[in-house]
Amino acid sequence: MKLKTVEDTREFGRRLAGVLRPGDLVLLTGPLGAGKTAMAQGIGAGLGVQGPITSPTFVIARVHRGPVPLVHADAYRLGDRPDPRAEIDDLDLDASADDAVTVVEWGVGLVEQLNDEYLQVRLDRLDDDTRTVELLPHGGDWAHRLETM
């Protein structure tokens, strides 16, 4: 699917939030500038969380309160240890995993162990600044839920 603007990316995130529920893990992948944070902003808006959603690159993870809380993490700067997954463990993301939707930017290869069932959202930015989005369900009922979007 192609998204023409950053606002279209946010709107897609809002729509995606409609099929999310507490305990879900969403991995946002793609190069710098592909729209991962814009997608997280849309998901947060769709979940009704409080406050602005900004890139958690320097704080690594933020919890946004709402009817369904959003844990928004960024694994981009992780990797100082020989096993970056140990740094993910230190973030204790699984502590709130059952009660919140957890969205992780740059998390592929690092956070899949948090949940056997997760959704990977692959974003890319084309030369004309449009974005493409591909949804890759892993386990559970993701494929069925995505059909309802």
Q: Tell me what percent of the chain is helix, strand and coil, each rounded to the nearest 5.
A: 30, 25, 45
> pLDDT by residue (tens digit) across 25-74?
999 999 988 999 999 999 999 999 988 887 755 445 677 789 999 988 87
121 - beta bridge partners? 28, 135
> pLDDT by residue (tens digit) across 111-123?
666 688 999 999 9
Q: Which residue has the higher pLDDT, 33 or 135?
A: 135
